[in-house]
Every structure is written in structure tokens, then in C-alpha cells.
Structure 1
Amino acid sequence: MSQEVSFVAEEINSIVKDILESLLASVTYQHSRISQLTEQVIEEVLKKLVAQKRPYKYLVSAVIMQRTGAGLHTACSAFWDTTSDGVAVVRWENRSIYCVVTIFGVAI
């Protein structure tokens, strides 16, 4: 698979970090807004990835939680073609929010 159509986690991470910075950097945790913010993160990530017009199906998961010092452990697994498919995980935080976005890219 050529470089321009391969799943490059570092590229995806950069895109997601930019989105999280623009959407969440100045946000203070409010439980009533988290559902909306989570949807917004997922929509923006998908929009940017699809705009690249690469031959992939994307699955995006986002978790936003209040940053209180509590631990968070997540895991995921897939059975796929390791030469063309991939996963990227972005961890991001500010003073009151902790966010984890997971993106699976499955080659078409």
C-alpha cells in the first residue's frame, strides 16, 4: 500500500489533537454539556478524516470525563490486516477535562 493511502497514526493524532484544542481548550467540565461535546468531537474528527478521501472506513470513539485524579483504563482489539489497517489513540486534557479519542481505520 503506498504512503498516501496508508493509515499513518501520527498524522491522525495531529489532526485529532488540533480538533480537541479548538473544541475543548477553554471548556470547563459541565456534566450537562458532555454529551454534546462528545458528539461534536466525533463529528469533527470524522469530517476531517473523510475529507482526506483515503480508501478507509473509519470508526471513532470518544470518552470525555471530568479530571479529578481518578484512573481511567481503556482497551480495544481488532482482527485485521496489519499492513493496511490501523488504530490511533489520542489522549488530551486541560484543567478540568480528560479526553480519549480512538480511531480505527479499515482499508476498503
Structure 2
Amino acid sequence: MDAAPSTEIDFSGNTFVIRPNFKHKFRPVAVREVISTVLSQNLTDKTYNSEEVPDLTRNLAEKIKEAVKDLGYDRYRLMVQVAIGEQKGEGVKMGCRCFWDADTDNYAQDTFMNDSLFCVAAVFGLFYY
């Protein structure tokens, strides 16, 4: 006679993660290097053109997001914000407010400038529970 399959569930290990391991935490220094690399590779020889800026910001945001994903932040939701403006020697201030968990969430930003334009990019990493 065949034995019936066991219906017991093994609860010995955690089935969910509420905090990232130390080595998997969002690292602003590493992300800032990625942002800097992507911006310098794509904007060094660009001149400001208001008609190209919407597509350029979307493309930069996607490239930054893909490069940050390669760092291995599996359980993080990534939000990328890119702003480009014409360089006219005037000052610009930007700010943001977020509601997040200070233990797990973080952000990184970098700025690129040439004679024609400036670009500010920020990546927000929010741990997905």
C-alpha cells in the first residue's frame, strides 16, 4: 500500500524579509559613481536644445536605472529623477521630500555641467517589504 503524501509545511525558515542584509543595503556612494559615469558618457558633448530635453531626460533616467539595477539591489524599488536646464550662469535650487524608512531607504544624486547645460540626477532606493 502506498503512503499518502505528507501535508506538513516546514516553518523552520523565514518566508519573508523585512530588512536587507548589510551587504545588500542601498549604497549612495556606489550609486553616485554610476550616475556620474552615465551623465558624463551621455552629456559631455551635448548642447542644450529644448526640443530634445524631454527625450534626453527619459533616456538618461532609463540608463541610470538599468546601471543601478546591475549593482544587485534586488529588493529595492528604484525611482530616478533627471532634470536638465540651460546653462546661463544663474543659480538653481532643487529639493525633495520623502516619507521612508531611514534604516533601509536612501538616495544618491549627482550633477553634471558643461558650457551649454546642467543636469541633476537623483536615484531613490526604497526597500520593498
TM-score over 0.5 for the pair: yes
In the TM superposition, residue 50 of structure 1 has moved relative to its aligned partner by 1.9
Structure 1 gaps of 5+ residues are: none
Counting aligned pairs with the same residue, the percent is 23
The 8 Å contact of residues 78 and 125 in structure 2, kept in 1 or not, is answered as: yes
Look up the match of 1:83. Answer: 103
Look up the match of 1:28. Answer: 47
**Inter-partner Cα distance in structure 2 for 1:2 and 1:94:** 39
In the TM superposition, residue 2 of structure 1 has moved relative to its aligned partner by 3.3
Look up the match of 2:82. Answer: 62
In the TM superposition, residue 4 of structure 1 has moved relative to its aligned partner by 2.4
1:101 aligned onto 2:117: no
**Inter-partner Cα distance in structure 1 for 2:49 and 2:23:** 40
Q: Which one has a larger percent strand, Structure 1 or Structure 2?
A: 1
Which of 10, 13, 25 pairs up with 2:29?
10
How many pairs were matched up?
108
TM-score (norm 1): 0.92
Question: Secondary structure of 2:67's partner?
Answer: helix
**Inter-partner Cα distance in structure 2 for 1:66 and 1:90:** 17
In the TM superposition, residue 52 of structure 1 has moved relative to its aligned partner by 2.6
TM-score (norm 2): 0.78
What amino acid sits opposite 2:123 in the alignment? I
What amino acid sits opposite 2:86 in the alignment? Q
Look up the match of 1:43. Answer: 62
Q: Which one has a larger percent helix, Structure 1 or Structure 2?
A: 1
| Higher Cα Rg, which structure | 2
Question: Secondary structure of 1:26's partner?
Answer: coil
**Inter-partner Cα distance in structure 1 for 2:55 and 2:99:** 31
Question: Secondary structure of 2:51's partner?
Answer: helix
Question: Secondary structure of 1:31's partner?
Answer: coil
Structure 2 gaps of 5+ residues are: 1-19
